[in-house]
A and B are shown apart, each in its own frame.
Chain A
Amino acid sequence: MKPILEVKNLNYIYSAGTPFEHKALDNISFSVVPGEFIGIIGHTGSGKSTLMQQLNGLLKPTSGQVLLDGEDIWSDKKLTRQARFRVGLVFQYPEYQLFEETVYRDIAFGPKNMGLDEKEIDRRVREAAGFVGLTAEQLEVSPFDLSGGQKRRVAIAGVIAMEPEVLILDEPTAGLDPVGRAEILGNIEAYRRARNATIMMVSHSMEDVARLTDRLLVMNGSKLAMDGTPAEVFTHAEELVSMGLNIPQVTQVFLHLKKMGLNVANVYTIEQAVSEIKRLRGGMANA
């Protein structure tokens, strides 16, 4: 499949030429295809946030390229602006960016900036609200009267309303209760399925990325340390731990079982663990 987004030898240096010079991205290359769900994991300060801001043209690479549909987003001013809309970026704690008088108008901010007509804006706002489970009545209240989880969903809807082909989210579930987390992750998955959109999600929950994503990018010390399916990545348990990361708890349990001499496969989600245990018990019953 033709990649939607390609990153080629991307380098980024903060405050170049000053004593505070700091290399935030070191020769990063990867590409993503439409419909992929990608998890980005990495220690704080490993360059995840910088990488995300490169992908929609908020930061300009020191060297290297970001290609959207095969075109360098920095080759033309129009393309850079296009990239802002085609690659939607949801920052950490996005509820702190809400500013409008009503939820409706806040969600409409992005589409309005795209220069769409009233009817199209209305359609997009209502659809985006639908994706995140906001009711029609909620669209008319002030965003500041909503609960924390609802505010977060309004903010995500504000980006979804631009109908980006690539949706990037920085820790969308940080600080939410388990119900709120499950809801948001469900909303994201729903948007992906409906639009065949690419999702890139930064997360510190190894359980979430193991369960949801097709592919993991591991950032470490400004470099792309690993790129593979969760199954591949989580076999490098020791390396991940040395990067200040971890593997899902259930994977840890099964690695321990293996050390104890049980003949178990590597698992990384609860569902796999359940079927693996069933297989083992069946095997023992037969024996």
Chain B
Amino acid sequence: MLKDITLGQYFPGQSIIHRLDPRTKLIMLVVYIVALFLAESWVSYGLMFLFLVTVIWLSTIPLKSILRGMKPLVMILIFTGVLNLFFTQEGEVIFHFWILTMTTGGLSRAVMMMSRILMLITGTFLLTYTTSPIALTDGLESLMKPLKKVGVPVHELSMMMCIALRFIPTLIEETDKIMCAQKARGADFETGSLMDRAKALIPILVPLFISAFRRADELATAMECRCYQGGEGRTKMKLLRYHLEDFLSYGAGAVLLVMVIVLKSVGL
């Protein structure tokens, strides 16, 4: 059933990572990614890995769920690994077979690239795992506020994102209902050529669009009835506020970045 689709990957929880301000988490993710791309040696990779493992441990997200999220990436990982393994020709030759030559340089490069991608994705996942979509939108709005000065409609964009997120489950339910109703009239979505199947979607899409427009109209009226007129002077019920743990994690991020840069400069 369509209803069983899980949207986003938010894992509700009470861990310290969950409680961090969304702005902190967004900025920390950027810091983490920058550090990851600066890291070049095994020592700095080890440091990054240690940092990541600590965050995972603090977030209390089960390792199994994180690994499950990696599944779709297996192909990309293998592709990266193989490319780096055979196209880097450095150091001693380990073995030679037909046109393929594997070198120690290639091996270490392949392992490094694969772990970089793995750590990159895991870090990004941790953000969406521990932050609800609404909090994320809130954080983005707050971080992008300076862009208002150059005419970017920041509040409107975040309101649009919020509403879109809010309506995803509603529209899925609606699609489910319409599909059932058309199936009851003998519509067939499972057999036939590609063209037939595309045509079979019309009886679903037309009512779905009509209902989406109707809902949008009703929502707009309801918002106007409650005197919504954009972001100007609008206050928030849940104010974003930094706490001790946010300052601590900014500190940890700064330390991480500095250490990676230092390691790089001493050539480790």
Contact = CB atoms under 8 A, between A and B. Distances in A.
B155 to A, nearest CB: 33
A172 interface: no
Given A85-B186, A144-B210, A162-B186, A91 B203 contact: no
Nearest to A155: B181
Nearest to B177: A91
A56 interface: yes
Contact of A15 (B4, B182, B188): B4
Contacts of A58: 180, 183-184
Interface stretch (A67-75, A92-100, A184-192, A218-226): A92-100
A114 interface: yes
Considering residues B185, B186, B188, B211, which has the most beta carbons from chain A within 10 angstroms of its beta carbon? Answer: B185
A91 B184 CA distance: 9
Nearest to A101: B206
B207 interface: yes
A59 to B, nearest CB: 9
A39 interface: no
A85 B187 CA distance: 11
A8 B210 CA distance: 40
Contacts of A158: 185
Contacts of B261: none
A89 interface: yes
A97 B181 contact: yes
A84 interface: yes
Nearest to A88: B184
Given A113-B188, A162-B185, A162-B186, A96 B180 contact: no
Interface string B242-257: 0000000000000000
Interface in A244-262: none
B181 A91 contact: yes
B75 interface: no
Interface string A6-24: 0000000001001000000
Interface in A54-94: 56, 58, 81, 84-85, 88-91, 94
Contacts of A162: 185-186
Contacts of A42: none
B213 to A, nearest CB: 11
B150 interface: no
Contacts of A84: 183-186
Nearest to B182: A97
B184 A113 contact: no
Contacts of A97: 178, 181-182, 185, 203, 207
A58 to B, nearest CB: 6
A122 B211 CA distance: 29
A205 interface: no
A114 B185 CA distance: 9
Interface in B111-163: none
Nearest to B202: A99
B218 to A, nearest CB: 14
A159 interface: yes
Considering residues A15, A99, A158, which has the most beta carbons from chain B within 10 angstroms of its beta carbon? Answer: A99
Given A15-B4, A91-B181, A113 B187 contact: yes
Interface string B193-214: 0000000001100110011000
A94 B182 CA distance: 10
A158 B181 CA distance: 11
Interface string A108-131: 011001100000000000000000
Considering residues B183, B188, B202, which has the most beta carbons from chain A within 10 angstroms of its beta carbon? Answer: B183
B18 to A, nearest CB: 20
A221 to B, nearest CB: 21
A53 interface: yes
A109 B184 contact: no
A109 B188 CA distance: 12
Contacts of B184: 56, 58, 84, 88-91, 159
Given A99-B207, A109-B203, A94 B186 contact: no
Give the top 8 A-B pairs by smallest Cβ distance, nearest first.
Answer: A113-B186, A99-B206, A97-B181, A110-B185, A89-B184, A91-B181, A99-B203, A99-B207
Interface of B: 4, 177-178, 180-188, 202-203, 206-207, 210-211
29 contacts: A18-B4, A53-B180, A56-B184, A58-B183, A58-B184, A89-B181, A90-B184, A91-B177, A91-B180, A91-B184, A96-B177, A96-B181, A96-B207, A96-B210, A97-B178, A97-B181, A97-B203, A99-B203, A99-B206, A109-B182, A109-B203, A110-B186, A113-B186, A113-B187, A113-B188, A114-B186, A158-B185, A159-B184, A162-B186
Interface of A: 15, 18, 53, 56, 58, 81, 84-85, 88-91, 94, 96-99, 109-110, 113-114, 144, 158-159, 162
